[in-house]
A and B are shown apart, each in its own frame.
Chain A
Amino acid sequence: MALKILLVDDSKASRLGLRNWLSKEDGVEIFEAGDGLEGVERFKEHQPDITFLDLTMPVMDGFTALEEMRKVDPAAIVVVLTADVQKKTTQRVEELGAFMVLKKPPVKENIIDAFYKGLKARGKER
């Protein structure tokens, strides 16, 4: 069964980049959303193994989206990828249950590392 990855970011460039990197991994199926609300809808629809989530987005921000996703699945693996690198932001998303917080611009090694750590935590280690 394919591993499902959800990319939630209002930046198409950012989604394009992550898609390009992650699609090179074997057996992955990637879904995308352009804002937090759409992200929560896609999350409910596809129940992804790992989600990469931006914070500063229109319609619904990433903080709220993270809360909603964790309500749907308290064990959800959500990696926050953000340009907001304040300590309080990191603390806040960790309290909300983020699996990991990565800063933008994204670094390929960090994204792939987060992917594998997320899979391990999900019990789908390869």
Chain B
Amino acid sequence: MTDNRDVVFNELEIDTLHEMMNISFGRAARDLSEVIDIYVVLSIPSMEVINASELPQFIQENIQEITSGGTIICQSFLGDYNGICLVVFPSDDEHKLLRLFQDQDDSFMEMMDDPDSEVFLEIGNILIGTCVSKMAELIGETVIYQPPAVIHSNLISTSLYSSIFDISNLALTLNTTFKFKELDLHCYLFLITSCATVPFLKKAIVDYLKQFE
């Protein structure tokens, strides 16, 4: 798998994009920690530019502990800044997450038709919504969200995003891990956009750096 990151962005642009990712992921951690009383440990994010057709393989390689299980929340967003965002819960952590919500509020669980799916949707929705919104805000764009969906990890394929961007082109992935400190839990977030968003990102990077003048 070839990483074309250095072809698309220069060193300062990559660094600035990392900083923008940090800010977006930091806001997402705050929002989640306010909904469920946990402390989220942020990891250093990473960015790759790879062929869009290789994304399923890339995601699988980055979430190696998922074997047969695992749940993914998938949500696409449209606009000039468009793409898809995935939050991946490794299989071993699924039940810990459910228990976490049960511990918080029994009535919350009782209200839900399908607690398993709805807990994942709730957490995924918070992380995806905040990350994408903050990135869009930093870029100066607005996005329209499609409804989120719960999918099984073995259903990751190009069909998830082929309607949003051309799978024969390059795609930009911004990813990180959220660790829930006291609970030995973690999940992965992949924010994936087509390379058509690169001009918007480059403009946002210039604007971000202008504040320092």
| Least Cβ–Cβ distance between A65 and chain B, in angstroms | 15
Partner of B26, one of A14, A16, A85: A85
Q: Is the CB of A82 within 8 A of B26?
A: yes
**What CA separation (Å) do A58 and B44 show in the bound complex?**
7
Partner of A11, one of B15, B26, B39, B213: B15
**What CA separation (Å) do A14 and B19 show in the bound complex?**
8
Interface size class of B (residues with CB under 8 A): 20 to 34
Contacts of A12 in B (CB 8 A): 11-12, 15
Contacts of B128 in A (CB 8 A): none
Contacts of B42 in A (CB 8 A): 56, 83-84
Q: Is the CB of B18 within 8 A of A87?
A: no
**What CA separation (Å) do A56 and B40 show in the bound complex?**
12
Q: Is the CB of B19 within 8 A of A13?
A: yes
Is the C-beta of A88 less than 8 angstroms from some C-beta in chain B? yes
* Interface stretch of the complex, out of B27-35, B97-105, B155-163: B27-35
**What CA separation (Å) do A120 and B85 show in the bound complex?**
46
Q: Is the CB of A13 within 8 A of B15?
A: yes
Which of B7-23 touch A at CB < 8 Å?
11-12, 15-16, 18-19, 22-23
* Interface stretch of the complex, out of B71-79, B194-202, B204-212: B204-212
Q: Is the CB of B22 within 8 A of A83?
A: yes
Contacts of B39 in A (CB 8 A): 86, 88-89
| Least Cβ–Cβ distance between A49 and chain B, in angstroms | 22
| Least Cβ–Cβ distance between A8 and chain B, in angstroms | 14
Partner of A56, one of B12, B30, B43: B43
Is the C-beta of B25 less than 8 angstroms from some C-beta in chain A? yes
